[in-house]
Structure 1
Amino acid sequence: MSQYTQPPQFPQAPMPPAPARNGLGTAALILGIVGALSGLIPFLFWLAGILGLIGLILGLSAKGRVKRGEATNKGAAVAGVVLGLVSLALSVVGAVITYKAVGDAVDEINKATSGSSAAKKPAGSDKPLEKAKDGEGATGEALAAGDSAVYDDDLTVTVSEPEAWTPGEYAIGHTEGNKAYKVTVVIENAGKEKFDSALVTAEARAGKEGVQAEQIYDGKVGEPFTGTILPGKKVTAVWAFDTPADAGSLTVEVSPGFDYNAGIWDLKL
């Protein structure tokens, strides 16, 4: 019987360990950092939310790999999860701030474009005003001399009866052959807030044709309103206008500011 010689047995080398799979933890950390930084800028809330959510998911997956021994960067995975949550929180805060800012801006635009919708309808004649020659329609309704335009904030504007007046030699705005009339304008602040009178303006039209009546400046006559009117206080100014000799009426329009409807007085000469 033949003898077979077995080959010698050599010990096998141990298998090298599998490389650590640390990619998810690193990605989670990077996305968490970028997301958190984005969340510091309110209008980038959408970017912070997206990056935070992805970073949170990757961080949780990375922690699972660490538990199974497939990864070794536990710190990066935990940091990715924490920063992901921070990014999501900042995203919510940024969204609230952004939406509120946009809402406030829209409200301001609506207030500006709506003009003086807060102005009350003043008592007086319901007769509509005639249009000026340039085609611009006057707003509001005609008031009589001595009537007041009262607004929702309790600001009151009153225009007196016109008084015939002779301008001085150095008056500005008077044309020889025309007649001059002056009116007293009183602004009373019965509200609770201060009122800036610097924005008060006036213009006038004379006669049925609505001819522009130039404002006359002569010493104290024609001086504009200036300064702040405190609650409970009033200020007075005397304005004068130049009209054709045959004008039988004078339409005076006083605008307290951008947020108010102009008050309009139809005065008999």
Structure 2
Amino acid sequence: APAAPAAPFGAPGVPAGPADPWAQPVPGYAAAPYGGYPQAGETTNGLAVATLIVGGFGVVLAFVPFLFWLGGILAVTGVGLGIGAIVRANKGAPNKSMAVIGTVLAGAGILASVGGFFLTVSVMERTTDRIEAGIDDFADYDPELDGPYPSSEPWPSGSAPASPSPSQVPGLTSALPFGETYTYPNGVKVSLSKPTKYEPKGIIAREQVKNAVQITITITNGSTAPHEVIYAVPNVRDDKGMTAEMVFDTGGGSTVPKMVKGSILPGESASGVVAFEIPEGTGSITADIAAGTLLDDVKYAGPIG
């Protein structure tokens, strides 16, 4: 009888053949599991860092004379970046506290730039005073004679020009009454009206202002060239010498203070209105004002009425 076919390797009762040493391992149930998907990196919030840096520089530069405008620009930019950083943080980004701090700094920088403006004006006025003092010292100097005029040829008796002594210049060394006009040597004129009681118009001003007076400033250009006014606001003191606080009122369709600024053409006038809070019972005030950066302060004094 023919021989029965050989059973294949691996059949029951038949030993399996030798393992293939070159076979590649086939993953199966016993294989190591696949690694999971990589975790997404943590979202960053670079706007928060930028807000803190820009806001900080804005505050610093706002107090530097002549650079207050740059501090203001940086502060406004910082507020914009801060809002964006806070929005991003609310969506899960980190550094929310940094974004809030930077935004607060930027807001403070905007206020500081306003103070920087007034500081710059003060520096300019002091520098101008020193320059004018130096000019006065050399006003009578004659380079040809190498000496001041008084030491060269004396004025003949009775022919010397009349020049008032410093004690005889009302407005500079003594106060003018409110309502009178002072004329500078270059023809520019300035006057402060008589102070009258101010009635606040806005809701906030009516709550905060208790006793205030208002003054009208008038500057007339009597010269032959345009006159530039950068900042013309009087300094007001009560009858005890205390500095009065300026009133800000934007209600009732009017705005106080109304600043006098810009270029005034020859023969033209410009006016503004300012108000100041003074203590109850104050009967009179004093004020001084310069009609231009290169002009002297003119003094006024008088009763309220």
TM-score range, shorter chain: 0.3 to 0.5
How high is the TM-score relative to the length of structure 2? 0.42
How high is the TM-score relative to the length of structure 1? 0.47
